[in-house]
Amino acid sequence: MSNTLIAPSVLAADFGNLQRDIEMVNNSEADWFHIDIMDGVFVPNISYGMPVLKAITLHAKKTIDVHLMIVDPDRYIKEFARLGADILTVHYEACTHLHRTLQAIKAEGMKAGVAINPHTSVDLLKDVINDIDLVLVMSVNPGFGGQSFIENTFKKVQRLKQIIAENNAKTIIEVDGGVTDKNAAELSAAGADVLVAGSFVFKAEDQPETIKNLKKIANS
């Protein structure tokens, strides 16, 4: 049986009731908090920054998984460590010296993740796969929640799983964007270890139940 984890994306939470939504995740079967940081440059949207992350980490009792959609992320690695990020994921497309960035993240005591856009081939990660704790496969174009899932993601996850096995790497695979109860089982079968879900969780009427079901489907 697989053990696929669920990471609700706080981007889709109700910011007027942020503490309530964080407590909902704390008390649910969710495994991680997924935190999307956007700078309006790397992606055409600005989400939230340090003060909001600080408020989240104050109440969150689960792994803090930070997804940076920003240019030149090296500038903020120390700050994210200080604010309590457990996993810090940078975009492949935003890093000129990816290997150096990964070492800098680990030097701050965090797990190092690399996110790839839908157009970026997983094969580009071969030479650094043993240095990556987590690969985040974007299944929508980054920038917004609530978009539809790109079907080519299944193939990418399968190929990535192969690369990881061929290199005896311990890298885990996270899929982010448009995840629902319709694609969770297939994603998990393709090799996804963590599923991020924003709108599907927070727009639901019964959020804890939705998380529970999604986890059940992913691990069926």
Q: Which two tokens stand for residue 208?
A: 């804890």
Question: Which helix (H) or strand (E) element contains residue 200?
Answer: helix 199-202
31 near ligand DX5, rule: CB under 6 A: no
Q: Measuring CA to CA, which residue among 86, 38, 41 is closest to residue 65?
A: 86
CB atoms within 10 A of CB 27: 10
Catalytic annotation present for 193: no
Residue numbers at the binding site for Zn ion (CB under 5 A):
36, 67, 176
Of 31, 36, 39, 193, the active-site residue reads: 36
Catalytic annotation present for 36: yes
Binding mask 172-191 for ligand DX5 (x = CB under 6 A): ----xxxx------------
Q: Which is nearer to ligand DX5, 31 or 176 (CB)?
A: 176
CB of 117 to Zn ion, least distance (A): 12
**Pairing mode of beta strands 111-116, 87-91:** parallel
Of 39, 65, 176, 193, the active-site residue reads: 176
9 near ligand DX5, rule: CB under 6 A: yes
Q: Catalytic positions, please?
A: 36, 176
Q: Write out the binding residues for substrate.
A: 9, 67, 143-146, 176-178, 198-199
